Structure 1
């Protein structure tokens, strides 16, 4: 949408002549001023602020309220997809309530849910001798020092391994709980991001002909290049072999399939069965592609990937592209460390859009409520009622 059309709709809105669809669009744009590369970027800063204040004032006048701090996002637009499936779109904006009863119900839910905060940097390091260290409980600096090995926690919270390569390598594990995430730099310089409820098992330094690690859950890698020593990632069902590249692996056991998404370089994905690579069951994928399989698949499927969605968790938000409510809630459950219970028929609506991972659970429930998904909070359980 260009600047002229946007300002025309804004003028109609201020005169009370805008259609329902145009009003929804303006509400959606309200909080996009500082986040999106769109028509608003064409405006000078003072003009942008002017328009923003106009929208806020008009909304407040219509609601008989004074302007308040705007929420991070809301659901604003609905449409019927070609397949006659209702797609509910998340977009940032100001929340409008149909009536006082709805507002009161939402306020009660938010009050009940406010104690459920988003995840944070937390993980457990397990050393070769079985001893454990809570990484979020340790200060910055050297947290482990053994013969030929240093484990350092940096100012930004990540853990880095340094080895002189002389002592025999030992196996360490870093695991995040639900509601946790962590960053790690392996001894060879490979950077690792762990999502919630994930783990990586790795040697304190790499020796021999390959660099091999084992993971569970979801992990993003930026592998340091070493043509003489390929980097191997093993999950329950797949083995990924790379020389130096950026890729994401989603291997949660409660997801329908394991997926490897390639952003840069080239990887070879092979099917594992009982820990052994299956002959003839491998594929090489290129940037922009994803390889997926389940434990019962005979072959690996390769398809175009939504790269933004694949690594959105690493970049601080959720992105959904026609995801059903169960897919949405699995991600919410891991990040907020909550359980989910469904009452009644599960909604068939599909969700599209983004949610910041810094938002507390009240904001997420607000979106679901505006999507006609009834929610309630009982302890650390989110109840979805349809």
Structure 2
């Protein structure tokens, strides 16, 4: 074959050669583009396969338990829902009002019956009830401001409920775990059962126990929550990220307190004498360098009063000591006045005015 040099190629031949070269470049680029599309499509398919898995994992971690869903649906954590008397709710329809300032509620169960006693009197009995006894029937004990209650759950766990507290729990616990939901403050003396762990759910987290004595403080209108452990061992599990559903877990042993700040999403664990945190069930409040604002909030719950503050700077003062809440409100405020040099007035409309 006769090969010509570039200087021997005619103008027409040069144009034909240029077209063939351009066509080759276009075909090459087209093949590369198609290859990239295949890679992108494959990556996209893999991505769509992975993303749902991540979402499912997050959703699984954020899934609410049955009792949390029940409480959310009933909106019982709205503190304005409290009535004048202690109320015992049994299921959706039965509401029993308990007029006494201090009430004792106890649950007993057998293979065929569930009984509820209030101050040693039977108020509910499933002996003649038809239908399965293991169906989840949620109860709640609602303790308004100015009152307290003590109860024994169906497993033998003892609970002391402070003023302004709601405890929600099943009539009969499930076979593999025991769960309650707390809004307010309570001391738990949990009956030991290593086969059925006990969970205390709160708005910001949960506490997992096997058998122990501890105090939980978790009022819906306050950003601070704490768990103080007297005996045994617990895990305090609090929310770290609402978006990702992640949590912070702190393992507590006797003499430890886990304090959670729902605004900062942070937990602080300290070692100290936790006995003072248990004293309120005996009618005594113990404070150590606590701000007056926090103290006044607790007093307002105990005495079921409204508070109006004219001098906000006085709320930053601190108080250390003990207050016997069996005394009158006037006696309590006199002690605080002598220690912190604040001025106050008790109005006729059950209002405490801080000047």
TM bucket, shorter chain: 0.5 to 0.7
Answering whether residue 189 of structure 2 is matched by residue 222 of structure 1, we say yes
Task: State the shift of 1:143 in Å.
Answer: 11
Any idea what the Cα deviations from partners look like across 1:126-170, whole Å, max 9, x if unmatched?
11023211123699999999x722101235x9x999989945341
Cα distance in 2 between the residues matched to 1:140 and 1:262: 24
Q: Which has the higher contact order (CA 8 A, sep 6+)?
A: 1
What aligned pairs does 1:195-234 form with structure 2 within 5 A after superposition? 195-234=162-201
In structure 2, C-alpha distance between the alignment counterparts of 1:214 and 1:169, rounded to whole Å: 14
Gap change, CA 1:214 and 1:335, over 3 Å in 2: same
Higher helix share: 2
Per the TM alignment, residue 362 of structure 1 is displaced from its structure 2 partner at its CA by: 1.4
Q: For residues 164-193 of structure 1, what are the alpha-carbon distances to aligned partners after superposition, in whole Å with 9 as ceiling and x for unaligned?
A: 994534110001001111011000000011
Is the Cα–Cα contact under 8 Å of residues 239 and 247 in structure 2 kept in the other structure? no
Structure 2 counterpart of 1:319, from 280, 286, 308: 286
How many pairs were matched up? Answer: 262
Helix, strand or coil at the partner of 1:227: coil
Aligned twin of 2:345: 376
Q: What are the superposed Cα offsets for residues 220-262 of structure 1, whole Å, 9 maximum, x if unpaired? A: 1000000000000100001100000000000013334100110
Alignment partner, residue 317 of structure 2: 349
Unpaired segments ≥5 residues, structure 2: 1-83
Instruction: State the match for 2:157 in structure 1.
Output: 190
| TM-score between both structures, scaled by the size of structure 1 | 0.61
Q: Structure 1's 235 and 160: CA in aligned 2 closer, same or farther, altered over 3 A? A: farther
Q: SS at the partner of 2:276? A: helix
Alignment of 1:282-321 (within 5 A): 282-321=249-288
- Give the secondary-structure state (helix, strand or coil) at the position aligned to 1:187: coil
Q: 2:54 maps to which residue?
A: none
Find the residue that maps to 1:358 and give its secondary structure: coil
CA distance in 2, matches of 1:161, 1:286: 38
For residues 1-386 of structure 1, the aligned pairs below 5 Å read: 123-136=86-99, 148-155=113-120, 166-272=133-239, 278-279=245-246, 281-347=248-314, 348-371=316-339, 372-378=341-347, 379-385=349-355
Task: Check conservation: 1:246, 1:262, Cα contact below 8 A.
Answer: yes
Q: 1:364 offset after TM fit, Å?
A: 1.4
Do 2:186 and 2:215's aligned partners in 1 also have CA atoms closer than 8 Å? yes
User: Is 2:230–2:255's contact at 8 Å kept on the other side of the alignment?
Assistant: yes
Query: What SS does structure 2 have at the residue aligned with 1:192?
Result: strand
When residues 272 and 338 of structure 1 are mapped into structure 2, their CA distance, relative to the original with a 3 A threshold, is: same
In structure 2, the CA distance between the partners of 1:359 and 1:242, relative to structure 1 (3 Å rule), is same
